[in-house]
Structure 1
Amino acid sequence: MSAASLMEPDYTDWIGRTETREGGVTPNLAGMLNAAVSHDLSPERGVRPGMELPSLWHWVAFPEFVPMSDLGEDGHPALGGFLPPLPFRRRMWAGGDVRFAGVFHVGERLTKVSTIRAVTQKEGKTGPMAFVTVDHVTTGDQGGVIEEEQNIVYLDIPPVFRPPRQVPVPERMAYDERVPMNEVRLFRYSAATYNAHRIHYDLPYAQQVEKYPALVVHGPMQATMAIEAAERHTGKAPARFTYRVVHPMFHDADLRLVGALDPAGGAIEVGTATFEDYLGLQARMEWTT
């Protein structure tokens, strides 16, 4: 039976489903994340209580403490709890839209309310797929608020790796930086985020089961590095950050952090890229003047 026929069940019961979680980023956790995403051009950061939390670091504040018995073959929590039990073996963080108001701090108590907005079936170039859109509102005890839309894609595992269409790097780049990428960095980020998805650390699984040529670099890690570079080069704090993963990046090649200023002002187009001049993550940071 194909995934398309299995999509016949009605998943509208999941739309509007909400969960609330409490969390935060301790100094130890901030240190773990900093060690995973930093590179030679990154700013030196302290990890003391009260330090302003860098952009997107709130993503590590809510680890899922799922029992081993409740994990799927891929290392993700099995579907059918908060997320609907879609009939696909591969799921990935496809992109999102983040809006910032205020800041969070190391050690601050954070609360995240997540709501499933939509479950959408589509027919892609490689077959049927589904998208789940989740809205998150994260608030801090000190008044900061981050509102975001997260898009998760579900699809079948192909018999062989089929790379997507390549999106070229932007023209007239304001910067182009090289970041070393390897198994150790991917392991450290998986550990800091408590992410057990096997495509990031289990090479035989990534190659033999999910048909990737190498370990896959985390999309959220790429976004975190991309926004740090954008802030560092513009000297601006983000009001909005939109991003999408357009091509997988792999552990066996260093990646580039690239950025091109919007001629209209108030924004910069950023992303990660290969040395073959195509993007892995395509993003845009906007700020208020």
Structure 2
Amino acid sequence: MSVRRRAEVLGTFPGAAYRGTFAPSAPEPGLGAELPAGWEGLYFPYDAPLADLRPDGSPARDGVLPEISLPRRMYAGEDTVFHRPLRYGNLVEQVVTAGDVVEKTGRSGRLVFADVVREYLVDGERAVSSTWHDVFLDVAGPGGGSGGGVSAGSVGPGAGADWSEPLRLDERQLFRFSALTFNTHRVHYDARWVREQEGLDGLLVHGPLLRIVLLDAAVRHEAAMPGEQGGPREPGERVGAFSFRVRAPLLAGTDAVIAGTRHGQESEVHLLDASGAPLATGTVAWVDEQRRRTPQ
């Protein structure tokens, strides 16, 4: 099994650049401060040489997965466990290995589902473990659509949710996220490619970006929720795990809604289009650090 190892000091620039573009209310990055859960996705950018890219700009040879003879590669979701917080200034080793690779036949033809497992180590100890889910597809015709999942029925924008907020991402933000992560996938910046090769009416918002945006929203609103007695919520909870799935494309400049609901030690967070149809879903598992440390 191929293993890729890279090391990087978690500098403040990627966090500051993301904060200034997508999360202005997040704490300002500083050496020694905790990296928000999910923001590890801003580090270890793509590094495949130009010769190892597919025509669509995604990696054909990444040193981990076997080369797959399908022209399109799309992000379908991610399952992450946060063992302990990363901090700005940490020297982090990323260890990447291939997970399951499964071939299927769908309505659009041949599909290959492939997992990539990423471990983030500090001083040899796991801080974050994440399994990234990709799907490889055949050529899409006009109107063929693109994305890692299948759209489901309407559930209503924020209906029954504890909180909701609007989301609209534009081309400038897509460009910045592509630049920050060195992502050359043409679905995010090449409008002609998107129309002719992907069958979409506009640029596709990055799935990994939506993962961070939805998790940020869940954390932000959870912190603002009242505690059990109606007063301020007691500090001590952190994100223990986040499971995220893309179900349908979100296009740049399109209005959407993020809605969240708390159920015990989990929160569900949904990205919905203007009609209420789900575009992406996530489940946050919360860990109460104070109770964990208090002897019973």
Task: Give me the whole-angstrom Cα distance separating, in 2, the residues matched to 1:85 and 1:66.
Answer: 13
Q: Mean Cα displacement is larger for which, 225-234 or 58-67? A: 58-67
Counterpart position of 1:174: 162
Residue ranges of structure 2 left out of the alignment (5+ in a row): 224-236, 289-296
Give, in angstroms, the shift of residue 171 of structure 1.
Answer: 4.3
Counterpart position of 1:249: 250
Task: Give me the whole-angstrom Cα distance separating, in 2, the residues matched to 1:80 and 1:137.
Answer: 16
Counterpart position of 2:293: none
Task: Give me the whole-angstrom Cα distance separating, in 1, the residues matched to 2:140 and 2:56.
Answer: 15
Give, in angstroms, the shift of residue 261 of structure 1.
Answer: 2.0
1:223 to 174, 195, 211: 211
SS at match of 1:285: strand
- Over residues 74-104 of structure 1, what are the superposed CA-to-partner deviations in whole Å (9 max), with x where a residue is unaligned? 1123337322111111111111211111111
Q: Structure 2 counterpart of 1:279, which letter?
A: P
Residue ranges of structure 1 left out of the alignment (5+ in a row): 1-15
Counterpart position of 1:286: 285
Task: Give me the whole-angstrom Cα distance separating, in 2, the residues matched to 1:115 and 1:152.
Answer: 14
TM-score (norm: length of structure 2): 0.84
Instruction: Note if contact 2:257-2:272 (Cα within 8 Å) is conserved in structure 1.
Output: yes
2:179 to 191, 196, 201: 191
SS at match of 1:237: strand
Instruction: Note if contact 2:161-2:261 (Cα within 8 Å) is conserved in structure 1.
Output: yes
Q: Mean Cα displacement is larger for which, 201-210 or 28-37? A: 28-37
TM-score (norm: length of structure 1): 0.86
SS at match of 1:110: strand
Q: Aligned runs of 1:11-30 on 2, under 5 Å?
A: 16-30=1-15
Q: Structure 1 counterpart of 2:180, which letter?
A: A
Counterpart position of 1:59: 41
> CA-atom RMSD, angstroms?
1.9
Q: Structure 2 counterpart of 1:280, which letter?
A: L
Task: Give me the whole-angstrom Cα distance separating, in 2, the residues matched to 1:23 and 1:281.
Answer: 30
Task: Give me the whole-angstrom Cα distance separating, in 1, the residues matched to 2:135 and 2:64.
Answer: 15
Give, in angstroms, the shift of residue 142 of structure 1.
Answer: 9.3
Task: Give me the whole-angstrom Cα distance separating, in 1, the residues matched to 2:67 and 2:52.
Answer: 13
Q: Mean Cα displacement is larger for which, 70-79 or 116-125? A: 70-79
* 1:234 and 2:219 aligned: no
Q: Aligned runs of 1:86-125 on 2, under 5 Å?
A: 86-125=68-107
Counterpart position of 1:148: 130
Task: Give me the whole-angstrom Cα distance separating, in 2, the residues matched to 1:211 and 1:231.
Answer: 35
Give, in angstroms, the shift of residue 167 of structure 1.
Answer: 4.3
Instruction: Note if contact 2:76-2:135 (Cα within 8 Å) is conserved in structure 1.
Output: yes
* 1:31 and 2:16 aligned: yes
Task: Give me the whole-angstrom Cα distance separating, in 2, the residues matched to 1:72 and 1:160.
Answer: 20
Judging changes above 3 Å, is the alpha-carbon distance between structure 1 residues 115 and 144 closer, same or farther for their aligned structure 2 residues? Answer: closer
2:190 to 202, 222, 226: 202
Task: Give me the whole-angstrom Cα distance separating, in 1, the residues matched to 2:126 and 2:217.
Answer: 22
Instruction: Note if contact 2:260-2:269 (Cα within 8 Å) is conserved in structure 1.
Output: yes
Instruction: Note if contact 1:167-1:246 (Cα within 8 Å) is conserved in structure 2.
Output: no
Task: Give me the whole-angstrom Cα distance separating, in 2, the residues matched to 1:36 and 1:88.
Answer: 34
Q: Structure 2 counterpart of 1:277, which letter?
A: G
Give, in angstroms, the shift of residue 191 of structure 1.
Answer: 1.1
Give, in angstroms, the shift of residue 252 of structure 1.
Answer: 2.3
